[in-house]
């Protein structure tokens, strides 16, 4: 028996999600991952570690702050070069988090490769929470 998204996730505008991800320089992406993770943790046994989420959010915040600081001080290229390391570590944590949420959403929906609600790994790697929200909306519309 396939599980569905009712009682776990909510319908939200994909256009809004895309717009906010762009306007917030990716911060909304982290917020949506956090929301999805909290919804998963509160409604399933497929937990995502709170410690992992906090570390990932801190790394993202530090990486974004260092990038902004480096762009403000563009005349000093050493600052930009030094921020690349933290950005790479942050990106690894972000990717792991995206994969964790994707896999759990696939488990919740009971979807496998080729199913309507299955989150394709390639498309997820490009569109992240935008694609996840689209599939969640599809799953909720079917109920």
Q: How many domains does the chain have?
A: 1
Classify residue 5: in a domain, yes or no. no
3-45: pLDDT as tens digits: 578 889 999 999 999 999 999 999 999 999 999 999 999 988 9
Classify residue 70: in a domain, yes or no. yes
Classify residue 93: in a domain, yes or no. yes
119: confidence class by pLDDT, cuts 50, 70, 90: very high
Nearest to 60 by CA among 17, 104, 84, 93: 93
Asked whether the whole model's pTM tops 0.85, one would answer yes
Give the range of the structural domain holding residue 103, as residue numbers without chain letter. 14-142
Classify residue 43: in a domain, yes or no. yes
Using a pLDDT cut of 70, give the percent of the chain over it.
97
Count of other CB atoms within 10 angstroms of residue 61: 13
Classify residue 59: in a domain, yes or no. yes
Burial of residue 80 (number of CB atoms within 10 Å: 0-12, 13-18, 19+): middle
Residue for token pair 């993202």: 60
1: confidence class by pLDDT, cuts 50, 70, 90: very low
């Amino acid at each position: 028996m396939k599980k569905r998204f009712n009682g776990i996730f909510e319908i939200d505008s994909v256009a809004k999600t895309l717009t906010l991800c762009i306007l917030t320089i990716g911060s909304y992406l982290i917020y949506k991952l956090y929301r999805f993770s909290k919804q998963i943790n509160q409604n399933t046994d497929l937990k995502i570690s709170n410690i992992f989420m906090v570390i990932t959010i801190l790394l993202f915040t530090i990486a974004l702050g260092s990038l902004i600081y480096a762009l403000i001080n563009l005349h000093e290229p050493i600052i930009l070069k030094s921020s690349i390391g933290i950005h790479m570590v942050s990106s690894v944590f972000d990717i792991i988090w995206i994969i964790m949420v994707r896999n759990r959403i696939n488990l919740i929906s009971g979807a496998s490769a080729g199913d309507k609600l299955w989150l394709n790994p390639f498309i997820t790697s490009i569109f992240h929470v935008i694609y996840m929200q689209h599939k969640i909306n599809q799953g909720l519309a079917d109920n």
